[in-house]
Each structure stands twice: as structure tokens, then as C-alpha cells.
Amino acid sequence: MDVFEKLRNGLPVNMASEEYKPAFEHIMFAAIKCHEINNLTPDLEKVKPLLGELFEGKFPNNSYIMSPMQLDFPKHISIGENVFINHHFTCMGAGGITIGSGCYIGPNVTIVTTNHDLNNLAVLKCKNVNIGKNVWFGANVLVLPGITVGDNSVLAGGAVITKDVAPNTIVGGNPAKVLKTIEI
């Protein structure tokens, strides 16, 4: 199992090890590509091909991420169709992030899949994050490792998502709590 598979499967990986080198190279590739995108005039025709490169050809034509952004493991991030992501999107995606189709993500949203071993901070422990379809993120939402957010949910502005969110649910606060169930 290579380092990428270990990270996606939640196995501990030491960032100071030789094994981590390909992961670090991927992080640097992503940092350079994000820097390139972030320093362009926001021009769809110029940005779209770079998003394709960043996501190794797996970025839907009808989805978009506003700059600036910072993504560290784009090969572990899957974005569905018709997704709009506003500026200052940050993903620590070593553990894997799936964003379903039709999601709208407000500004300053952070999704984190990584954590550190308390006995050795150089050791990463990852858990994937799964976002359902048609989820609306308010501004400044933080999603922590291992979270699943159900379809048609709303994450209110400033929410810190520490537990799974059921489908058709509005959550808010720090830590986020259920505010309302959406009648469908």
C-alpha cells in the first residue's frame, strides 16, 4: 500500500519519513498550481484549464472554485457536477473529500481530513469527509475529519461541524447543533 492509500484509509503516516516524500511532492504541486490560479485575473477561460490540471482532469466543466483557494491533496478530492465554491476555500484533503453535485459553498469554508497523533505530532491520522448532494455551506464553516453531511442540508454560517449531519437538516453553532429539519 503506498502513502496515498494509507492516508485515504486512515493508517498513520509519519510526515518525517521517506515514505511521505511522494505525498509532500503532491502537496507542493498543489501549492504551486493554487498559487498560479490565485494570481490570475478571475477569468473563467484561463482558470478552468488550471483547475483541470490541479484535479488531474477530474474536475467537472460545470463546477467552479473562486480564487483564492488552498488545496493540499487534490488527487483525494472529488467534486460533483454543478458545484459552486466561493473564495478562500481551504481543504486539507489527505484523507479524502467527496463533495456531491449541486453543492453551494460560501466564502472562507475549511474542510479538514487530517489530525495528528498526540504522542508524535509528525504522524498524520486521517478520516475522510463526505458531503452529500445539494448541501449549502454558509460563510466560515469548518468541517472536521470523519464527517458525513447528508443530502439537502444547510450548514449555517460559522458552524463548526463536529458530528455527522442528517439529510434535510439545518445545523449551526460551535459545535453545530440541529436547528431545524427541512420539510421536503
Which sequence positions are flagged as catalytic? Answer: 116
Q: Which H or E run contains 94?
A: none
CB count within 10 Å of CB 16 equals 10
Q: Which of 31, 27, 29 has its CA nearest to residue 13?
A: 27
Q: How far is it between the farthest Cα atoms of the chain? A: 52
In this structure, what C-alpha cell is assigned to residue 178? 440541529
CB count within 10 Å of CB 176 equals 24
CA atoms of 130 and 98, how far apart (whole Å): 5
